[in-house]
Structure 1
Amino acid sequence: MEATSTRKPALLTVDDDPAVSRSVARDLRRRYGDAYRVVRADSGPLALDALRDLKLRGDQVAVLLADHRMPEMTGIEFLEQAMDIYPQARRVLLTAYADTDVAIDAVNVVDLDHYLLKPWDPPEEKFYPVIDAQLEAWNANPPRSVAETKVVGHRWSARSSEVREFLARNQVPYRWYSSDSPEGKRLLDVAGADESALPVLVTTEGTVLVCPTDGEIAAQVGLAVSPAERFYDLVVIGGGPAGLSAALYGASEGLRTALVERSATGGQAGQSSRIENYLGFPDGVSGAQLTDRARRQALKFGAEIVMTRDAIGLEVKGAARSVRFDDGTSVEAHTVIVASGVAYRELDGPGIGALTGRGVYYGSALTEATACENQDIYVVGGANSAGQAAMYLSRHARSVTLVVRSASLSLSMSSYLVEQVEANERIRVRTQSEVVEAVGDDHLEQIVLRDTVTGHKESVHTGWLFVFIGAAPLTTWLDGTVTRDEHGFVCAGHDLLVEGKVPSSWPLDRPPYHLETSVPGVFAAGDVRAESAKRVASAVGEGAMAVMLVHRYLEQL
């Protein structure tokens, strides 16, 4: 996300027909170019990406003008998703005469403000009066300008990258300035900082944070960082799909519920550029969008979301369950749902650790995607997360090479995604290969690939390596309290039984409930649970089921 001088509200038009798209943009610029920025996209997904970029930069969007008949996503489907990003933008559907019934129905579906028939010549009679009316309505009650947090850092600073990712994943609008740019230097001078202490963050209130921690950032940008109470009915650890689902259902069913997240809600799913096999989203949905909807829904029902608190211990105190945090504080509850998820495993090899955050990234690091334009990118991994990242990065990159240890993508990647990857001319799949070394001074310059069959090594030039190589559960904080398997995943329900019988260490007369751990009243949901399905839909379902079991447990207290 680069700094830009334009602060004009945007008029966004999306149409898959290049001729129509250019015509609409031309007519808009001719009349409104002095006061508004015209943004053009040729598909719904690309238009949504543009809207998300505008949102993160704090820019306003006045009018959304979408063609109805588009192959990837109809205009109505686009406007429905766009409402989540810019709810106050005026919505106009461009349609043929034959589709007027559809347009009328859209008034209720997406609160359509107007539908415009093609062709609209002459624009002075058929186009401009419509847009004039929409702009007049928008300007009558425009949304307040979004003040932006400013971040000054070095392009190849690992911590600068982490700060940008933290802000983006927590939906905090910010503007990035390179420390060697004129504006970056000016901000450092005004803040009284220098390039030896980066990154520097300037809040919307003018507060300067030098090399801030995530907790310090969260406190300054308005995120809750401490529980409001000392005791709850339910505390959920982890803000991925399972945790958000549990918090939503717990709060909506009357439980005093707090969700505690160490970094950003969404977990690994929140970093996905596009999830296409999630029920109810036939055109796919980005992890960030799905996460934001779930977070807002949980807050709507009264769940409390506490950020940047890292759980380091769990204690049983009679009927209470106490969770200790890394800052020395703790919170107690009748019940706990462990939904702390998993983290990507790290590559092992010379130079890789030193270049992490400086060309080597774990997860999608979507804030880096636009900087990859016309670059040769390497993605390590053979599962869905790697395939989704490769597809997303291919929009900007010159080429994307998918490095896979197995002999075939089909062994671990969904068939629909395999087909998309293989059909993408910018993506090359390199099977039976692994990255064994990273080379570079202040940033990544080369990687060394090894053929797992022959052992042959090859050095290739690249400044970008994104890693998705399996998952390790985040459960060390449960040591000595909750039973886990040999890989660290939490055992629950039937998995606790020994030869079909309840172990002698189990303190109750009844057997453990389906998602209940070795500690009564403590449940596990999502990827952190042993033998879980490792899918977003199953994680959401387990979060909801865990709350049902929490109610059953509480009834017996």
Structure 2
Amino acid sequence: MAKPVILTVDDDPVVLQAIARDLRQKYGDRFRIVRADSGANALDALSKVKLRNETVALLLADQRMPQMSGVEFLENAVEMYPDAKRALLTAYADTDAAIRAINKTRIDYYLMKPWDPPEERLYPVLNDLLDDWLAGFIPPFEGVRVIGNRWSPDSHKAKDFLARNQVPYEWLNIEVSEEAQKLVKYAECEELKLPLVLFPDGSSLQQPRNIQIAEKIGLQTQAEKPFYDLIIIGGGPAGLAAAVYGASEGLRTVMIEREAPGGQAGTSSRIENYLGFPVGLSGADLARRALTQARRFGVEVLTPQEAKGISIQDQYRIIKLADGSEISSHAVILALGVAWRRLNVPGIDRLTGAGIYYGAAQTEALSCKGEDVYVVGGANSAGQAAMYFSKYARKVIMLVRGESLTKSMSQYLIDQIESTPNIEVQVKSSVVEVKGENSLEAITILNSLTQEQQTVNANSLFIFIGAQPSTEWLQDVVKRDERGFILTGPDLMPNGRCPKNWKLERDPYLLETNIPGVFAVGDVRHGSIKRVASGVGEGSICVQFIHRHLSNFL
């Protein structure tokens, strides 16, 4: 934690140097001593301290200063730091003014100049003030702060990016938080564009892109080398497992993730059927553990970074990244995962991020406290989200297109939902329209059995309706099925023949695509089982096929 600040102000440079010296000698091991030569400069210094989210324990100001007296400075400073102790340094002639200031402006004490010796005339008084301040001191949040509007899609993106990358942050809603409004003023934004993201070093970004946030918080976005033994594209469970096994077995490995390690599974609030965790674990916890393992074995993790193209040159597989750079390797694992399928109803695109969300249960749950929340979907992800929301929302309404949950959801989740009193399941129901100007205000629900439509007030709609792969960039290189899922192994050989342009004597390995040395694992693979454990298994065993492939030319 940063040391609390003691700020001293005096327009006389000799006096200012002397008081700062004495303060530093006595309190420098526990407090940071900041000095200013005028009231205006002191207020500017406090603004910078505020933007770094540091605390101020004591304000010590000379009374007789031009432009702004000590009392005037302390009156202004109290708006920024109302809990800081306040003391005046005065000459004998200013004693009456100091006493009036104590009575009028809640100044805690006044000290006479000169204060020599400080052991008798300075430190005892300040010790009492600082002890009193420390007794009620609550350490501030240390980390990133996001100031925005609940219904701002850009604010949601910033929060979701930080949450999924497991970066602690504090959310301040500018519509209800006085602190947020003050911080905006201190940041001196010429034209405010939300969200305003404040960093611990006192810097800020307005309406930043994810990659700008990543660079500020120290995430790696650029590869350190031009060549690797193994490039893994995608950081979900399958990609993380491949990274751990590949690097642990000596392969120089880099993993490219366009959003956050953990993938779609990383957004799950609770996974209860993963082997070895009898009480379950969150997707974020699983991702954190796996990422720690991967980094311990030396895996480079690039995030947010995105692959935009793949080309083949002899035994090299070349990946073009979104920033235009290229890296190459002998082997590539496509662990791209899937994205939530979009709900195609009138008005939805305009309100996405402003009350309508795909996934994002953990990011927005606290904002839904005491409200009714609608969840669209009937598979495990929707069930896990409903259980998570039930801790915060007044009521959770699950809209399920099928006739029951049994065909698509694990029984343990069904049992939990049935035993949770504030979760209601509406079957044969789907959303056919959403309404709202700046944020979601209402949804229209269709009952497919009765064909009745009902419009209900709604501020929050979370959608979990299946998945689709993002594999368009592989077109004309890697074979895919009609829905975009990647074909591997036996699925490349429906008639028993190797795929066209396959030049090796052997058949494609189980997880290998039509390009030798390029493999696909996890949800993006045609015919895969959409479970976390399955993805981890495929990512793990794929490394053995890579070793076989590499043995041909290493």
TM range (shorter): 0.7 to 0.9
Report whether the alignment pairs 1:354 with 2:350: yes
Could you tell me how far 1:211 is from its partner in structure 2?
1.2
Q: How does 1:31-50 map to 2 (within 5 A)?
A: none
Partner of 2:255: 259
Partner of 1:184: 180
Partner of 1:373: 369
- 8 Å contact 2:269–2:361 — kept in the other structure? no
Report whether the alignment pairs 1:545 with 2:541: yes
Where do 4+ consecutive residues of structure 1 move more than 6 Å? none
RMSD between superposed Cα atoms in Å: 1.7
> What is the DSSP-based 3-state SS (H/G/I as helix, E as strand, rest coil) of the residue aligned with 2:230?
strand
Could you tell me how far 1:324 is from its partner in structure 2?
0.9
Could you tell me how far 1:146 is from its partner in structure 2?
7.3
Partner of 1:463: 459
Partner of 2:168: 173
Could you tell me how far 1:494 is from its partner in structure 2?
0.6
Q: How does 1:451-490 map to 2 (within 5 A)?
A: 451-490=447-486
> Which sits farther off after the overlay, 174-183 or 520-529?
174-183
Number of aligned residues: 417
- 8 Å contact 1:358–1:443 — kept in the other structure? yes
Q: How does 1:273-422 map to 2 (within 5 A)?
A: 273-422=269-418
| Structure-2 separation of matches of 1:514 and 1:415 | 31
Could you tell me how far 1:455 is from its partner in structure 2?
2.3
| Structure-1 separation of matches of 2:193 and 2:311 | 39
Give CA-to-partner distance per residue, 1:85-111, whole Å, 9 cap, x none.
xxxxxxxxxxxxxxxxxxxxxxxxxxx
| Structure-2 separation of matches of 1:502 and 1:356 | 44
Give CA-to-partner distance per residue, 1:162-189, whole Å, 9 cap, x none.
1011111111121122223322122222
Report whether the alignment pairs 1:149 with 2:144: yes
- 8 Å contact 2:192–2:206 — kept in the other structure? no
Partner of 1:216: 212
The percent identity for this pair of structures is: 50
- 8 Å contact 2:143–2:170 — kept in the other structure? yes
| Structure-2 separation of matches of 1:214 and 1:397 | 29
Could you tell me how far 1:350 is from its partner in structure 2?
1.2
Partner of 1:515: 511
Report whether the alignment pairs 1:438 with 2:438: no
| Structure-1 separation of matches of 2:542 and 2:144 | 38
Give CA-to-partner distance per residue, 1:345-367, whole Å, 9 cap, x none.
11111111111111101003312
Structure 2: state its 5+ residue gaps. 5-52, 55-138
> What is the DSSP-based 3-state SS (H/G/I as helix, E as strand, rest coil) of the residue aligned with 1:269?
helix
Amino acid at match of 2:217: V
Q: TM-score if structure 2 supplies the norm length?
A: 0.73
Partner of 1:158: 153
- 8 Å contact 1:484–1:491 — kept in the other structure? yes
- 8 Å contact 1:188–1:194 — kept in the other structure? no
| Cα 1:520–1:145 shift into 2, 3 Å | farther
Partner of 2:57: none
Q: How does 1:128-139 map to 2 (within 5 A)?
A: none
> Which sits farther off after the overlay, 290-299 or 414-423?
414-423
| Structure-1 separation of matches of 2:155 and 2:258 | 18
Give CA-to-partner distance per residue, 1:241-265, whole Å, 9 cap, x none.
0000011111111000000000101
Amino acid at match of 1:461: N
Amino acid at match of 2:341: R
Give CA-to-partner distance per residue, 1:489-545, whole Å, 9 cap, x none.
000001000312213321211100000001100000000000000100000000011
Could you tell me how far 1:483 is from its partner in structure 2?
0.1
Kindly name which structure, 1 or 2, has the bigger radius of gyration based on alpha carbons: 2
- 8 Å contact 1:179–1:195 — kept in the other structure? no
| Structure-2 separation of matches of 1:339 and 1:433 | 33
- 8 Å contact 1:273–1:364 — kept in the other structure? no
| Structure-2 separation of matches of 1:145 and 1:262 | 32
Structure 1: state its 5+ residue gaps. 1-6, 8-57, 60-143
Amino acid at match of 2:466: G
- 8 Å contact 2:232–2:243 — kept in the other structure? yes
Could you tell me how far 1:551 is from its partner in structure 2?
0.6
> What is the DSSP-based 3-state SS (H/G/I as helix, E as strand, rest coil) of the residue aligned with 2:317?
strand
Q: TM-score if structure 1 supplies the norm length?
A: 0.73
> Which sits farther off after the overlay, 223-232 or 365-374?
365-374
Give CA-to-partner distance per residue, 1:28-74, whole Å, 9 cap, x none.
xxxxxxxxxxxxxxxxxxxxxxxxxxxxxx99xxxxxxxxxxxxxxx
| Structure-1 separation of matches of 2:141 and 2:537 | 36
- 8 Å contact 1:165–1:365 — kept in the other structure? no
Amino acid at match of 2:152: S
| Structure-1 separation of matches of 2:222 and 2:248 | 22
| Structure-1 separation of matches of 2:525 and 2:483 | 11
